[in-house]
């Protein structure tokens, strides 16, 4: 089509449409046509002259660079190198996917090549959820996070259902344009509207279930760059309890404070005898129902090489240290419960593929204050047990971006999700707003209420439908009280996880092997004349 003859403008349009659809400023309906200009550009290049691969890659890189930079430029507030690495490398990976699609599209018919692209993209998104360079922020299913009414069926599919929906719409729209099938407009509208109508029906008919618990979420609003790591833990704890005093009632049972709010490194073994522990014991004596779920920066020393793990940090001969970003749960029980954050931020909390890279480049970690070292994780998702047997999931910061990961808490019988985070690194940008909105998807997938405590915004309560019931503002010292429902039902997605991605992998492999064994087709085979 003449409209898409200028491939550079087509690629630019794709990048802008993707960015304009993204939360929390965009409108996600645009994403159902966002890839069509880039697909048309690839098609035009495929039937054109020389340097086809280079042109396809360059156009794709430009489109995805626009999308990445507009949506996640705010990473620069934490670290310039981290922002450049995340955006440039993620853009490169996306563009290479498109180049691989181009190679297969030259050998098979249009429908098979589009199915290959869809399954390839889904597998790429799954890779971004599990490998050491994990960065799933721009996984397509996340685009609806600000519109939870549109994707209530995520309780069955997770975000991969959204990715599949988006790609089916784009592929169908592109195919109809290529084949000049103007009569397919109605079918294109149905592809978008049927899942949407189904979701709206689910939204109106679903009601939060389970008995309720009263929760307070604290927002201390401490500057992590200048103040956080200089304030003694005891002073921090006193300040948090003063905030709690303004809202606590005889019915309050859970008091949440942000990730690493106790920031002065303290060995786990010493916490039981610390002044903070004594202060909290005294508070519980005055408020017997009170139970604390707080974040802490902690560590353990390791002297036995047999106990060293890949994430242990070497100090000197016969001495290693395990550093933790952890959650503590403290109530009337003499022993406290703990959980170690296990989905770590790349370059800040872990060095990817440390056994391979550290001998080559050293401990190249980004300094955001506190301890500059790889954090030690745990295999299982711990669930904290309250005085009356209530189960709460301690989800720490970045972990709330991972759908199947969060289901691990629910499989271990978590009845509501407690997210503790520190969103101050990105200043007042889209970063902390997008992070909050992604939590809305976790509520739908698991049908669990969420209580969210953020250091400097946004703290919130989210219901089982993904609605934000109440919230704070950014950059204010405050606290919020609300109710959470306790749900014991495990959704289809909780039980089966990212099955769409697992199903996509063999399909992608078969189509790839089929494609590379075929001869290249003449342009008339895939481009109607």
pLDDT tens digits for range 169-196? 999 999 998 887 777 888 999 999 999 9
- For the entire predicted model, the pTM comes to 0.93
The residue-averaged pLDDT of 383-387 equals 97
The pLDDT of residue 9: 96
Q: With 50 as the cut, is the pLDDT of residue 368 above it?
A: no
Q: Is pLDDT of 526 > 70?
A: no
Q: Which of 221-225, 386-390, 463-467 has the lowest mean pLDDT?
A: 221-225
Question: pLDDT higher for 525 or 316?
Answer: 316
Q: What is the pLDDT of residues 44-96, one digit of tens each?
A: 998 876 678 999 999 999 999 999 999 999 999 888 888 998 999 999 999 99
Query: Is it the case that residue 361 has pLDDT exceeding 80?
Result: no
Q: Of the candidates 245, 262, 331, which has an alpha carbon nearest to the alpha carbon of residue 290? A: 331
Within 10 angstroms of residue 47's Cβ, the number of other Cβ atoms is: 13
Mean pLDDT confidence for 101-123: 96
Contact 526, 110 (CB under 8 A): yes
Mean pLDDT of 432-455: 97
The 3 state secondary structure assigned to 448-503 is: CCEEEEECCCCCEEECCCCCEEEECCCCCCEEEEEEEECCCCCCHHHHHCCHHHHH
Measured CA distances, 35 to 27, 157, 196, 408 (Å): 15, 22, 20, 33
Give the contacts of 400 (CB within 8 A, at least 6 positions apart).
Answer: 406, 419, 421, 435, 438, 439, 442
**Candidate from 67-76, 225-234, 362-371, 491-500 with smallest mean pLDDT:** 362-371
CA distance 46 to 55: 10
CA distance 14 to 456: 34
Q: What is the pLDDT of residue 357?
A: 65
Report the pLDDT averaged over residues 410-432.
93
Q: What is the mean pLDDT of the chain?
A: 92
Cα within 13 Å of Cα(346), Cβ side: 19
The pLDDT of residue 362 is 57
- pLDDT tens digits along 145-167: 999 999 999 999 999 999 999 99
The whole-number pLDDT of residue 2 equals 61
Q: What are phi and psi of 364, to 5 degrees?
A: -85, 90
Q: Give the number of other CB atoms < 10 A from CB of residue 50.
A: 7
- Residue 487 has φ and ψ, to the nearest 5°, of -115, 135
Mean pLDDT along residues 223-227: 81
Residue 528, pLDDT score: 47
Return the pLDDT at 264.
86
Is the pLDDT reported for residue 200 higher than 90?
Answer: yes
Q: Percent of the chain scored above 70 by pLDDT?
A: 93
- Give the confidence band of 347 by pLDDT, cuts at 50, 70, 90: confident
pLDDT for residue 351: 76
Backbone angles phi, psi at 239, to 5 degrees: -65, -40
pLDDT interval class at 372 (50, 70, 90):
low
Checking if the pLDDT of 508 tops 80, the result is: yes
Task: Calculate the CA 99 to chain-centre distance.
Answer: 26
């Amino acid at each position: 089509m003449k409209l898409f003859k200028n491939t550079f403008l087509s690629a630019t349009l794709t990048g802008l449409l993707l960015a304009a659809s993204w939360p929390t400023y965009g409108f996600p309906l645009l994403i159902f046509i966002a890839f069509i200009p880039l697909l048309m550009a690839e098609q035009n290049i495929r039937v054109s002259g020389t340097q086809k691969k280079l042109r396809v890659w360059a156009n794709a890189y430009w489109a995805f660079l626009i999308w990445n930079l507009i949506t996640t430029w705010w990473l620069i507030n934490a670290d310039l190198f981290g922002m450049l690495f995340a955006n440039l490398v993620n853009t490169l990976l996306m563009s290479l996917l498109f180049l691989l699609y181009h190679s297969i599209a030259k050998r098979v018919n249009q429908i098979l090549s589009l199915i290959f692209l869809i399954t390839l993209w889904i597998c790429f998104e799954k890779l971004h959820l599990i490998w050491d360079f994990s960065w799933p922020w721009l996984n397509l299913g996340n685009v609806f996070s600000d519109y939870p009414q549109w994707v209530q069926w995520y309780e069955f599919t997770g975000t991969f259902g959204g990715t599949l929906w988006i790609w089916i719409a784009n592929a169908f729209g592109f195919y109809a344009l290529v084949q000049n099938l103007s009569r397919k407009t109605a079918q294109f509208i149905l592809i978008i509207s049927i899942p949407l109508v189904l979701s709206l029906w689910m939204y109106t008919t679903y009601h939060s279930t389970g008995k309720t618990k009263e929760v307070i979420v604290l927002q201390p609003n401490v500057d992590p760059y200048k103040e956080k790591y200089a304030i003694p833990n005891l002073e921090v704890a006193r300040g948090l309890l003063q905030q709690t005093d303004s809202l606590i009632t005889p019915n309050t049972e859970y008091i949440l404070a942000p990730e690493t709010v106790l920031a002065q490194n303290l060995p786990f073994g010493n916490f039981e005898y610390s002044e903070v522990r004594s202060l909290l014991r005294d508070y519980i004596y005055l408020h017997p129902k009170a139970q604390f779920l707080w974040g802490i920066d902690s560590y353990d020393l390791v002297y036995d090489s047999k106990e060293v793990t890949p994430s242990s940090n070497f100090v000197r001969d016969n001495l290693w240290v395990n550093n933790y970003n952890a959650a503590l749960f403290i109530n009337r029980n003499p022993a406290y419960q703990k959980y170690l954050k296990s989905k770590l931020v790349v370059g800040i909390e872990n060095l990817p593929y440390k056994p391979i890279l550290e001998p080559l480049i050293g401990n190249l970690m980004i300094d955001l204050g506190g301890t500059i070292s790889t954090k030690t994780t745990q295999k299982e998702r711990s669930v904290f047990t309250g005085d009356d047997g209530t189960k709460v999931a301690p989800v720490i910061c970045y972990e709330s971006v991972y759908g199947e990961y969060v289901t691990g808490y629910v499989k271990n019988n978590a009845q509501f999700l407690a997210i503790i985070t520190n969103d101050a690194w990105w200043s007042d940008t889209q970063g902390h707003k997008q992070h909050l909105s992604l939590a809305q998807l976790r509520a739908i997938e698991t049908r669990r209420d969420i209580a969210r405590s953020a250091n400097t915004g946004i703290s919130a309560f989210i219901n089982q439908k993904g609605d934000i019931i109440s919230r704070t503002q950014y950059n204010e010292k405050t606290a919020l009280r609300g109710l959470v429902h306790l749900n014991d039902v495990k959704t289809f997605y909780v039980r089966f996880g990212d099955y769409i991605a697992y199903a996509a992998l063999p399909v992608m492999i078969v189509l790839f092997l089929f494609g590379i064994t075929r001869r290249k087709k003449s342009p008339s085979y895939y481009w109607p004349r």
